Amino acid sequence: MKRPVRSTLRVLPKKLQSLAELATDLRWTWSHASDRLWNMMDPVMWERTQNPLVILQSIPQHRLTQLAEDPEFLGELEQANRARREYQAQRGWFARRHSAEALGCVAYFSMEFGIGEALPLYAGGLGVLAGDILKTASDLAVPVVGVGLLYQEGYGRQILDRAGWQIEAYPYNDPLSLPVRPVMPPGKEWLHIPLELPGRTLLLRVWQAQVGRVRLYLLDSNTPLNTAPDRGITSKLYDDRPEIRLLQEMALGFGGWRVIESLRLRADVCHLNEGHAAFAVIERAHSFMRKSGLSFGEALWATRAGNVFTTHTPVAAGFDVFSAELIRQYLRDHVAQLGISMEEFLGLGRRIPHNSDEPFTMTLLAMRGSTAVNGVSRLHGEVSRRLFQPLYPRWPEPEVPIGSITNGVHVPSWDSEWADTLWTKAAGKARWLDELETLAEAMRHVDDAELWTMRTEGRKALTDFARQRLIQQYRLMGADPETVQSLARTLDPQALTIGFARRFAEYKRPTLLLHNRERLTRLLTNPDRPVQLIVAGKAHPHDQTGKALVQQFVRFAREPAVRDRVIFLADYDLALAEYLVQGVDVWVNTPRRPWEACGTSGMKVLVNGGLNLSELDGWWAEAYSPEVGWALGGSRERPEADSDAVEAAELYDVLEQHVVPEFYDRDPRGIPVRWVARMRASMAGLAPRYSSNRMLREYVERLYLPAAARVRKRTADHGRLGKELLTWQRMLAHQWPSLRFGTVEVHREGDAWCFTVTLYLAGLDPAAVAVELYAEPFDGTTPVREPLAKREPLAGEAGWYRYQGRVRATRPAEHFTPRVIPAHCEAQVPLEESHILWFR
């Protein structure tokens, strides 16, 4: 059947046809090379939307005809085209540092992508991170493709009623008005991906968004070829109905990997951004089954070597969980094709595989289907190891196989025009496109006056923007003209400006600032040292507690004593976030430790000279030092019942005794010298370190390149190594219950303890295991793991072996315990094989 394909763009005059490429390349969300071009086309529309595609689709035809004959405009168009060509032609960091042969491409799967308001496919920080990954991959020329879903409505947009209660709107995302195009392989029609469902086949259309040098592939079910209910599967982001949520995750995982296969992309690495896309590991293994003739178990051992999983969740309640009944209903055909039983499949998503009472958890499937797992900050890595400890029974917590790569932000997306000018003068235009080691020194030489001017301009721009957005907000609520007119006097561009914006969830404690309203009011209304507070944030559409917290702040902002100093801006989105992080002097974050996995919002103020006052949680727990900002709480968790009151008092103390005095302590030039010194330290020391440039380079060198090498090795020769590894695992499972220690002897020789251990292997090949001494970490050190060498078998004792080794006698001998663990030079232990036997 032929499927009609409609263009998403109008027909343009021949001289202007390159506008289509410029408008649909989302690089304009972070590069301002073409800003003047769009402003020349329609300055009013550009100011209101900052979206060239809207301009291109709305501008009258006669205006296009005029522009096609305007030499100044054509010159500006050529300049924008030249800038784009030069960017595309740059060799990039990856090509300069690594061989193209080392990494085919990385397929980056995410349930949401926050690239810009022109493509509203995100709910919060997870999506913004995914968008920043794609932008950074483009800048560094890392071979990445994104895979996600195209939602008809996306995530709820926040509206406040007259009582300050949050309600949601779901505007329709018409694909014909989005910067996406149908994927049409050469000589073929629009790509549709089939997905088997009970009693029917779901068809998923495939769209493509251009993000600089990177492509983002998006699937949606809203085609007339599907039934009416199935067309709505990709309607809302994070639909709260379990059945629809499961279908979305099947579309993303199964459908997304089929896109990779259909387009013949050599994806060595599959990166799962959270567990939503975990079905991709199943589809990848299934695809290799068909190509190699292996069993599913063998194919999974072969292909998971190339899978990387990033967890963002610090609590088990955040995992996606589905009932076994729902999995049976919707995946029976998929499982039948794998040649395994449904119970075996369900075991991949259970902590105890054979526990039929357990539901199916996508996070566990993602872990079992990957050979690299990481949290998103150093502290989150520690929390995750504790959280996932039950998957690795008897393994010490420090050895739970979860590392960490701390998130970063795509700096060019978040810097103000004044910050961009300052950084360009100090460090050059290409400063975020390669190594970052020189940036700190460059920033230390910037003059105090220049830094303070940048900060002042950013604050003024935020104040102007916030007033206008607040006026629009009140008009939407039907406020009377006098009230609307009074809003023009809100905020002071010279006052210390504090920003607080995030998802309103109870664990983030968004109302900690309101704990003592009288004290906060005195702080805000001091006539000599005024402070103003700009707040934004949404609650989840079904989180009534979160909505009540929103309402508390909205009502406080309306109180007569503070309404000129506090505003709550509705519908926190990327456009609002951009102004906030560019303009605030201090970014406040108050989560309950350790529930903030990372918290990237505070990173976005760094490039603009904003400072952080935050709980020592997430990224701030590793970034904080006294010269770059201020901290709340301590390095350990407090009991929940005590923490709010104690830390609210700390927050007020820090503001009153440190933040406010330092901001208003000026030299004869009117510059707060101590404040500016803190700005410089933060910008020099933290902005490069917490950029997505550093983050993505870490992913490439620590995870992607090793994973690509592993998967190529395991899949070579029709998966011979994958088959060998499954045989090794089955041999261990069969023999392990029979393994046992005999005697352990220890004596001292000089400065070392000498151990002799006897071990019964019950016919198991000694090469399949490793015997070692283990000691717990001591005084913050890493665990001691000292291998013991296999000696001769015990005479006359079949299956018994002697092992010997030495360890430095810096600790008592009883600190060291012999143990047996699996050993294979090509396996990731304990991630892929977690047997362990201790002497006692």
How do residues 367-408 score in pLDDT, each as one tens digit? Answer: 999 999 999 999 999 999 999 999 999 999 999 999 999 999
3-state helix, strand, coil in the chain (%, to 5): 45, 20, 35
Q: How confident is the model at residue 641 (pLDDT cuts 50, 70, 90)?
A: low
Q: What is the pLDDT of residue 3?
A: 41
Q: How far apart are CA 285 and CA 302, in angstroms?
A: 8
> Could you give the dihedral angle defined by the CA atoms of residues 598, 574, 231 and 335, in that order, rounded to the nearest 10 degrees?
-20
pLDDT of 473 strictly over 70: yes
* Most confident by average pLDDT, 4-13, 96-105, 708-717: 708-717
Q: How far apart are CA 120 and CA 573, in angstroms?
A: 9
pLDDT digits (tens, 9 = 90+) for 697-752: 999 999 999 999 999 999 999 999 999 999 999 999 999 999 999 999 999 999 99
Angle between the N-to-C axes of helices 279-292 and 705-735, in degrees from 0 to 180, rounded to the nearest 10: 80
- Do 710 and 812 form a contact (C-beta atoms < 8 A)? no
Average pLDDT value over all residues in the chain: 94
Quick count: other Cβ atoms within 10 Å of Cβ 803?
22
Q: How confident is the model at residue 785 (pLDDT cuts 50, 70, 90)?
A: very high
CATH number of 105-407+703-711: 3.40.50.2000
Q: What is the pLDDT of residue 5?
A: 38
744: left (phi over 0), alpha (psi -120 to 50) or beta: beta
Q: What is the pLDDT of residue 640?
A: 67
For the chain, the structural domain boundaries read 14-89, 105-407+703-711, 432-690, 739-838
Which among 449, 365, 349, 509 has a CA at the least distance from the CA of 679? 449
Mapped onto helix, strand or coil, the DSSP state of residue 110 is strand
Q: What is the pTM of this model?
A: 0.95
Q: How far apart are CA 553 and CA 158, in angstroms?
A: 15
120-121/113-114 β-pairing? antiparallel
pLDDT of 324 strictly over 80: yes
Helix (H) or strand (E) holding 403: strand 403-404
Give the CATH class of 739-838. Answer: mainly beta
Q: How far apart are CA 817 and CA 776, in angstroms?
A: 9
Task: Count the alpha carbons within 13 Å of 379 in the hemisphere toward its beta carbon.
Answer: 22
Instruction: Give the list of residues 6+ apart from residue 91 with CB closer than 8 angstroms, or none.
Output: 141
Mapped onto helix, strand or coil, the DSSP state of residue 311 is coil
Say whether the peptide bond before residue 594 is cis (omega within 30 degrees of 0): yes
566-569/531-536 β-pairing? parallel
Query: What is the DSSP secondary-structure string of 576-608?
Result: HHHHHHHH-SEEEE---TT--S--GGGGGGGGG
For 432-690, CATH number out of 1.10.357.10, 3.40.50.1220, 3.40.50.300, 3.40.50.2000 equals 3.40.50.2000
Do the two domains 432-690 and 739-838 of this chain adopt the same fold?
Answer: no
Helix (H) or strand (E) holding 455: helix 448-476
Q: How far apart are CA 630 and CA 663, in angstroms?
A: 13
Q: What is the pLDDT of residue 174?
A: 85
pLDDT of 1 strictly over 50: no
pLDDT digits (tens, 9 = 90+) for 655-682: 999 999 999 999 999 999 999 999 999 9
pLDDT of 480 strictly over 90: no
